[in-house]
Amino acid sequence: MARRFQTRLTIATSVLIAATIGFMSLALIHLAATTITKQHRIRGKLLTALAKRNIEYGTGLPEEVMERVGDQMVVTALLTAELVAIAEQDGSLSPERISEALSRVIERSRQHRGYPLVDEFWVTDENGYAYIHTEDFDFTFSPDPEKTPQANEFWPLLEEGAAPLVQKLQKRAVDEKRFKYVGVSGVDKPRIVQIGVGEDLVNSIQSGFLVENIVERFVEEMEIER
């Protein structure tokens, strides 16, 4: 009897220990699963927040980039003003030859990116008449917005010491194409020196920051991390 009782006790104890181990294992598995789920949930929220912030940052970049483009355009206009003054100093270069040289700059910039990095040069006399230019039509600046809408803002550059003027990207009056213009004063005499960049450059900048492109790059980066 004693031996049977001991055997039963041993079996019961073994079953109890096995059950305890089983329950503990299930509890640990549940705890681990809960922890992993919680970690993935937290990571998912962090990734969502990060993606949202990246997209918001990316969609706001084009405006900042265009501001930097405007800064570089100011430098280009200042250099143009200096070079025109030097070219006209001894009268050896005609306005036509200067215009041809500026047109070559446009074409050579096209070779670099496949589109012109600057589209137009306009250099006026003291009356606002653009006698040096790279377009196939004449133009005269006027302070009257009715006569030269958009361009009238550059008229104050004829005054000595006027600060450079940077316009925001906008549709120009002559053909509704989106252009960005920058102007500076002359260095040798009262004049307006204006340069413009057009849709090719603008579109190339903005296309790089389309939301779908930003999301696609973000997903690709996440795949690489995995």
The answer to whether position 194 is within a domain reads yes
pLDDT at 73: 95
More confident residue, 18 or 144: 144
> At residue 4, does pLDDT exceed 90?
no
The answer to whether position 97 is within a domain reads yes
Distance, CA of 135 to CA of 110 (rounded, Å): 16
The answer to whether position 48 is within a domain reads no
- Given pLDDT bands bounded at 50, 70 and 90, which one contains residue 165? very high
- Specify which of 20-29, 30-39, 177-186, 213-222 reaches the highest per-range mean pLDDT: 177-186
The answer to whether position 3 is within a domain reads no
CB 221 within 8 A of CB 213: no
> At residue 57, does pLDDT exceed 90?
no
DSSP state of 134: S
The answer to whether position 70 is within a domain reads yes
| pLDDT, tens digit, 9 for 90 and up, residues 130-158 | 999 999 999 999 999 998 888 999 999 99
Question: What value does the mean pLDDT of the chain take?
Answer: 79
> At residue 113, does pLDDT exceed 80?
yes
The answer to whether position 5 is within a domain reads no
Which range of residues forms the domain containing residue 93?
62-207
For the stretch 146-173, what's the b/e string if a residue is b when 16 or more beta carbons lie within 10 angstroms of its beta carbon? Answer: eebeebbbbbebbeeebebbbbebeebe
Distance, CA of 157 to CA of 204 (rounded, Å): 30
In whole angstroms, what separates CA 60 from the centre of its chain? Answer: 8
pTM, to two decimals: 0.68
In whole angstroms, what separates CA 18 from the centre of its chain? Answer: 65
Question: Domain tally for the chain?
Answer: 1
The answer to whether position 225 is within a domain reads no
Looking at residue 162, which CATH number applies to its domain? 3.30.450.20
More confident residue, 56 or 163: 163
